[in-house]
Amino acid sequence: MHSKHIADSPSSSQQQFPAPAAPRRRPGRRGHPALAAGALLVVGVSLAALTGCGNSASGNGDNAGSAASAPPAGKNGGKPLSKLLWMGDSIAEAEAPALEAAVKAGGAEFKSIASAGGGTVVKGEGPTAQFADDTYKQLAKAVETFHPDVIAYQVTTYDWGTAAQQAGSYERLAKAAKDAGAELVIVSAPPFKIDDFYKSHEAAIKSAPKAAQDAAAKNAGQVRFFDAAGLWGTDSAAAKAQRSQDGIHTCQQGAAAFANWFGGQLSRHYSFTPAAPEKWAKGTWTGSKVYGQLKCG
């Protein structure tokens, strides 16, 4: 879960991941991916579509899924996507290895500053103001050294605050991206279990996606909002959500599904053509240490 609060606010969501239900070998030492995990990924992405990544659409084009066997070509005349900077909390951190593999396979560079235990940009309730300050410091360093074309921020489980605080914070992030010469993509968080740790912030968690969408509409052309409900749905307990048994994070298979879906969304707006999952989903990223730490198996 989020490491900065494990000691202070224990909850059921803070348990380590149990082994997945499907039989899989445990990951080897760092740098030696679990072959069984990679094999399961190949099975998933070699089908007509990954779980939750079919061609059905909900809402506008940003919510449409992407066929796994035929990634869409990048938008003609769209802003070239050569460098993607990824931001978020521990959920985004677990998605980053698959996303990096997919983005690089599509010919672009990738950098993640997703952070377990923080990652938010919202200066709202409780400790989030300090978390947001830390995030902006990381962002400034990444912008200075990486020079991204697109900054992608996944709404975090820590985006606590009023709708006005949330919208103002997302607009601040939009300005930071613009000042860096980059466009901003905000993607909604997957559905996750609202346990005792999150219960008092449930209203803020529910208002964050709408606030992000409003901020994107206010900054049309500079900010885009991708609604991940088109992939995960809205029920963390449903199979479509691909959550671990803790109801919050995802393991390799779900990360691959997200990377496939997200690449399709990027291709709708930018000059970026995602590679077929068969080209990247079997890679060494499946043995990333983040999955070992989460006991993904």
Q: Which CATH number belongs to the domain containing residue 27 in this structure?
A: 3.40.50.1110
Question: Based on the structure, what is the number of domains in the chain?
Answer: 1
8 A C-beta contact, residue 96 and residue 114? yes
Residue 150: both structure tokens together:
């697109």
**Model pTM?**
0.80
Place 292 in a pLDDT band, splitting at 50, 70 and 90. confident
Containing structural domain, residue 145: 3-293
- Residues 113-157: pLDDT tens digits? 999 988 999 998 778 889 999 999 999 999 999 999 999 999 999
8 A C-beta contact, residue 228 and residue 189? yes
Place 76 in a pLDDT band, splitting at 50, 70 and 90. low
Alpha carbon distance 297, 100 (integer Å): 20
Cβ-proximal residues to 140 (8 Å cutoff; 6+ apart), any chain: none
Cβ-proximal residues to 228 (8 Å cutoff; 6+ apart), any chain: 187, 188, 189, 190, 258, 261
Strand spans (E) along 190-286: 223-226, 270-271
